[in-house]
Amino acid sequence: MDFNVPLDSNNHITDDTRIRGALPTIKHILDQGGAAILMSHLGRPTKKLLPDGSIDKEKFTLHHVVGHLSDLLGVEVQFCDELVGEKATKMAAALQPGQVLILENTRFEPGETKGDEGLARQLAELADVYVNDAFGTAHRAHASTTTVAHFFDKGAKDFGFLMEAEVKNASKVLNDPQRPLTAIIGGAKVSDKILLLERLIDFVDNLLIGGGMAYTFLKAQGGKVGNSLVEEDKLELALKLLEKAKQKGVQLLLPEDSIIADKFDAAAKVSSANSLAIPDGWMGLDIGEKARMAYAEVIRNSKTLLWNGPMGVFEMENFAQGTKAIAEVVAQATKKGAFSLVGGGDSVAAVNQMGLAEEISHVSTGGGAMLEFLEGKELPGIKAIND
Ligand code: AMP
């Protein structure tokens, strides 16, 4: 399960989306006459140790989710303050059909992030069946998300409903898309998305590039981009990607114009400019109006849409218009029958902020996991179930 929810300073849950997302799988197990033993991590306890070097168990205990999960399920959820050990074994063995037990934070155990076999074996011994519904950690070969699955036969392990939907929807885009297929890629840096861009060029029809990464491409083409974000060591790669797109017949669009600012600040002076002629001292922080229109046109004519990364610094109102416009057109195209997948980080936050999540075919919950899936990598958490 993914119960890695945000907590306030009083350890109250501030957003229970992930807990609600897990309910259908848990209810299904209970409805089938099963008992559920739930495992999840919460936060990064080993990265935020107490001054004496020990884990801050009070802050990171999964006990924080017990009350709310009990309310949502309508079942009194039991809690075990260890992940494995005598107590966990006893409590798991005593479970009756319809009962639910949460084990302590998986990351309290040092073996978890190492994918430790001993720990995984102990976890496996607690249950008859293993279900993984934590897509967000599927790219990590941890003990509770990957290694443990090796101790179950093929017929005794499966994806939960959330994870199944993530895999099914992303596979649809990668393996069986209706065309035209358009990828919209934004975000800060080219370097974070090299693998994704390379792979997309192999099979998309259109590639729309926005965000900070666009300026490395624009500079590589000989454009003047002022103080815009540029990765000098990726200029050559950008040219290669442009060349590859041409060879493959992919329509690759860069923003013709940009919303520019005289500094990276919400209160900066704002203007607009041709993206290849940004005045000295200014930087591109969003795609401009012409780019918005050109991108919208391509999106409207597409049957499958994949969106990863914002078109500008959408956290600042002055530079959020490009991202908003794209979110709206993607939602409209979806209404008209296109299949849309928004995945991987900040574009998900943008769609949620705009209240458009319901109008997208699939909004992924797994940032890094979705990015790696789209890059074509085999995710260890998925492979372990399929093996
Ligand atoms: P990523 O995590 O790679 O999707 O990047 C998201 C971040 O990119 C967001 O925090 C945006 O503010 C940032 N970003 C988008 N466009 C630009 C831009 N033109 N210049 C600098 N940062 C940007």
In the predicted model, residues of the chain with pLDDT beneath 50 are none
Neighbour count for residue 206 (Cβ, 10 Å): 22
What is the predicted pLDDT for the residue at 344?
72
Does the CB atom of residue 255 touch ligand 1 within 6 A? Answer: no
Atom of ligand 1 nearest to the CA of 189: 3
Q: Which of 144, 7, 134 is CA-nearest to residue 63?
A: 7
Helix H or strand E encompassing 380: helix 380-386
- The amino acid sitting at 238 is A
Q: Is 121 a catalytic residue?
A: no
Q: Which of 42, 66, 69 is CA-nearest to residue 56?
A: 42
Q: Report the distance separating Cα 170 and Cα 309, nearest Å.
A: 16
What is the predicted pLDDT for the residue at 159?
97
Does the CB atom of residue 129 touch ligand 1 within 6 A? Answer: no
224 DSSP β-pair partners: 277
Does the CB atom of residue 366 touch ligand 1 within 6 A? Answer: no
- Positive/negative CA dihedral, 161, 162, 163, 165: positive
In the chain the domains, ranked by start, together with CATH numbers, are 17-161 (3.40.50.1260), 171-363 (3.40.50.1260)
Residue ranges of alpha helices (H) inside 251-379 are 289-300, 321-335, 346-353, 367-374
**Structural contact between residues 91 and 77, judged by C-beta atoms closer than 8 angstroms:** no
Q: Is 368 a catalytic residue?
A: yes
Atom of ligand 1 nearest to the CA of 310: 15
State pLDDT tens for residues 18-35: 899 899 999 999 999 999
State pLDDT tens for residues 55-103: 999 999 999 999 999 999 999 999 999 999 999 999 999 999 999 999 9
Mapping DSSP onto H, E and C, the string for 89-145 reads HHHHHCCCCCCEEECCCHHHCCCCCCCCHHHHHHHHCCCCCEEECCHHHCCCCCCCC
Does the CB atom of residue 346 touch ligand 1 within 6 A? Answer: yes
